[in-house]
A and B are shown apart, each in its own frame.
Chain A
Amino acid sequence: MKTFFKILLASSLAISASAKEIKLLNVSYDPTRELYTEYNAAFAKYWKAKTGDDVTISQSHGGSGKQAQSVIAGLEADVVTLALSYDIDAISQQAGLLPANWQSRLPNNSTPYTSTIVFLVRKGNPKGIKDWDDLVKPHVSVVVPNPKTSGGARWAYLGAYAYALETYGHDDAKAKDFITKLYKNVPILDSGARGSTITFAQRGIGDVLLAWENEAHLALKEFGADNFEIVTPPLSILAEPPVAVVDKNAKRHGTTEVANEYLKYLYSDEGQEIAAKNFYRPRNQDIAAKYAANFTQLKLVTVDQEFGGWTKAQATHFADGGVFDQIYQP
């Protein structure tokens, strides 16, 4: 009988000690494919070393607004890493999948890295585009995604609007006139940032692409620095893409612990370094200093400063009937 119990005990220990196979789904926005491909591999290695468990992270990418709606509609994301906090708020409010205070659960308002909007122009900058006001000149064709579906596009829109407010002494009418002129120069609206990059870089449309900083660098890398160049305007918007665990999904999948650790690890030295290497501005100042050459210094304004926060900005500019609907006629 003692032998039997020993065998039973040994079997139980063997079973409990065996490595688990964990699967996570990270629903993210368009330009983060390369970032999370690299980061996922690093995290899986870290998690294996820490716990012995294998974790496989699947990625889903698209326009940030569309991705949020997919999660609300049932896409079972364990974590979301979207372009702006409004989209995660929507998941919280419309589907109740995570608490309203989700942004307070991680440092820096749950934004482990930042970015901004820059200009990608064709080599030699034939239209001489240096600043936002060059975008409203006649015969300048601007490529930017649709702010109704793309987080990056909303950041770009607000960047342009913030420039106009700063330039015209916060005269909203003049700023509105400026943004109207700008979008008259936009011949086509893609649903996401990656689509706009294809439109500009691969399909040869337009004189300038309003792009995430990391997306612009990626375009240089992928399509050749001899074909394009980056123009960083003196002023742009501070984009803060947030991350969050989708609590109810993670709980149902039994992945809460690993999902939390997955996001926390973004703040680690390795996570920050991967972000910097992929041209996201790291929060860690030491890492930021190390990769300072990757990032041109410019004046960055925030959504809170210029627009009173995302909720207000969304309602004013991007909701149905908002400023964007008023000024843009396809």
Chain B
Amino acid sequence: MGAQFAVAALADDTTTNSTEAAEIETLKQEIQKLDQKVSDLESQQQAQQPVADNADKKQIQDLDQKVRILSRERELDQDAAAAAAKTQPKITLGASGLGFSSADSNFVATIHGLIQVDSRTFSQDDHVQGNDSILLRRARPIITGTVFHDFDFNFTPEFGNATPGATSAASTPSIYDAYINYRYSPWLQLEAGRFKPPVGLEYLQTDTATSFNERSLVSDLIPGRDLGFELHGDIAGGVVSYAAGIFNGVGDNQRNTTDIGFQNDREFDGRLFVQPFKATGIAALQNFGVGAGGSWGSSSITNTLGLPNTTGGGSTSYGFSTDGQQQFFAYSATTVAAHTHWRFSPQGYYYYGPFGLLGEYVISDQGVENSTTLKTANLRNTAWEISGGCVLTGEDAAYNGVTPRHNFDPRNGGWGAWQVVARYAELNVDSAAFPTFASATTSASAAQAWSLGLNWYLNRNIRVNASYSHTTFTGGGAATATTAPASVSSHPESVFFTRVQLAF
């Protein structure tokens, strides 16, 4: 029984083994099939991968080209814009005015402007009526520029009440500067038109940069703007400056107002100014300058054109006038200019850091004739001045003015530049003028003036200043006189000035 079971069991085992083997074989075949499928799939995938890579690569290359093209187009557009900009006129607007320039800078025009609103308040002058005033001292639209690179021009009309001593309230527009300047080089230039003759240092200083509202007594003996031709230039970068010209000729403290000259004779003016240390490294001396100006002219006929005011009373002609622009000297009505008139003016300045000094002396030797008595004389009038200043806020003082380091901007702590200035000046009339050529009872024979001032430069364009001037006279009018020059010269003049200035 046991053996049968054993055989049967063995037979069962044999049957079971056969079935398992078949199943295993089947599974093996399945696995092989799956392996083949996997292999096939892997092959397929491997075969498809380069195609996908190539497509991606192509797409990347195309995109790369597009980016490069766009980048290059932008580059070319920028180049084209830069090239176009080189041919376009330029417009600039800033502290120096409104400028227009051709692309090559050969043609330039700049619009500038100057407005000065002044006040003059005289004290202890009840004998002179109506001289306290708020006035438009200067109102000038200024056009400067260049044509064909080398030809500069300046056109400056005046709309303000610019005539010192004028009693009329009317402001008569007139042309102050109108000239053309050919610039061959900095050292050789030729100027033609109406401009300041090259004589006085203070007079040549620009109106926006003078220390006080009005120039000193020295300017009473200096020729004002005139019509003529002038050769001038700066040598060695301004170490030497020269100017020499021929002009119609104007009297002391007069300017040509007629656009022509009604006399046959001309006046020769010239000036040489040296700044010997300008090109050196000696900072303390770089802005030291000294020189001399002068003029010579003659009248073949006697006339009044060459004289300062002869009518008295403060007409529209210039006279010898005070800081307050009141006439203190006038020739007699019978006095005419005759023969020669020459001037000589040694002059100099020194600027170092915030400090500045300016000094000038002038001799004006005027030939005159009394048209009634026919007596003649050469009257040698003289004047001198010295002025100085200190910029309290530390900026550099200069002949051309002060530029504030910090513009006025109280919200950000900017207060502009502040400067104190002082001046003393004298004018002496030749004693031979009295009584034949001028009245000793109406005109002073000398004037002495001192001035103190405070200048506030808010920025490059705006300046506000206040000053006080006191002038005393030698000789002059009676205390009861009511018309200039007698009324002016009868008492010392004390005047308080203010000014608000816009210059660009």
Residues of A within 8 A of B (CB): 141, 187-188, 190-191, 195, 199, 203-206
Give the top 6 A-B pairs by smallest Cβ distance, nearest first.
A187-B69, A205-B68, A203-B72, A199-B72, A188-B69, A204-B68
**CB-CB contacts below 8 Å: B400-435 with A:** none
User: What B residues does A199 contact at CB under 8 A?
Assistant: 72
User: What A residues does B65 contact at CB under 8 A?
Assistant: 141, 187, 205-206
* B133 contacts A by Cβ under 8 Å: no
| Contact (A188, B76) CB under 8 Å given A141-B65, A205-B65 | yes
What is the number of residues of chain B that contact chain A, defined by CB distance less than 8 Å? 9
* B172 contacts A by Cβ under 8 Å: no
Residue of A nearest to B87 (CB): A73
* B71 contacts A by Cβ under 8 Å: yes
| Complex: A187 Cα to B69 Cα, angstroms | 7
Q: Is the pair A188, B71 in contact by a Cβ cutoff of 8 Å?
A: no
Beyond contacts A190-B76, A205-B68: 13 other A-B pairs, Cβ-Cβ < 8 A, are A141-B65, A187-B65, A188-B69, A188-B72, A188-B73, A188-B76, A191-B80, A195-B76, A203-B71, A203-B72, A203-B75, A205-B72, A206-B65
**CB-CB contacts below 8 Å: B48-79 with A:** 65, 68-69, 71-73, 75-76
User: What B residues does A206 contact at CB under 8 A?
Assistant: 65
User: What B residues does A191 contact at CB under 8 A?
Assistant: 76, 80
**CB-CB contacts below 8 Å: B71-119 with A:** 71-73, 75-76, 80
B438 to chain A, nearest CB (A): 58
Q: Is the pair A203, B68 in contact by a Cβ cutoff of 8 Å?
A: yes
Q: List 22 A-B contacts (CB under 8 A).
A: A141-B65, A187-B65, A187-B69, A188-B69, A188-B72, A188-B73, A188-B76, A190-B76, A191-B76, A191-B80, A195-B76, A199-B72, A203-B68, A203-B71, A203-B72, A203-B75, A204-B68, A205-B65, A205-B68, A205-B69, A205-B72, A206-B65
| Complex: A203 Cα to B66 Cα, angstroms | 12
A95 to chain B, nearest CB (A): 18
User: What B residues does A141 contact at CB under 8 A?
Assistant: 65
Residue of B nearest to A199 (CB): B72
Residue of B nearest to A190 (CB): B76
User: What A residues does B68 contact at CB under 8 A?
Assistant: 203-205
Residue of A nearest to B62 (CB): A139
B66 to chain A, nearest CB (A): 9
| Complex: A195 Cα to B76 Cα, angstroms | 9
A125 to chain B, nearest CB (A): 16
User: What B residues does A188 contact at CB under 8 A?
Assistant: 69, 72-73, 76
Residue of B nearest to A73 (CB): B87
User: What A residues does B69 contact at CB under 8 A?
Assistant: 187-188, 205
Between B72, B75, B76, the greatest number of chain A beta carbons within 10 A of the residue's beta carbon is seen for: B72
Residue of A nearest to B69 (CB): A187
Between A141, A187, A191, the greatest number of chain B beta carbons within 10 A of the residue's beta carbon is seen for: A187
User: What B residues does A190 contact at CB under 8 A?
Assistant: 76
User: What B residues does A187 contact at CB under 8 A?
Assistant: 65, 69
| Complex: A191 Cα to B65 Cα, angstroms | 20
A228 to chain B, nearest CB (A): 16
| Complex: A206 Cα to B66 Cα, angstroms | 10
| Complex: A203 Cα to B71 Cα, angstroms | 9
Residue of B nearest to A66 (CB): B83
| Complex: A206 Cα to B69 Cα, angstroms | 9
- B301-334 CB contact bits vs A (8 Å, 1 = yes)? 0000000000000000000000000000000000
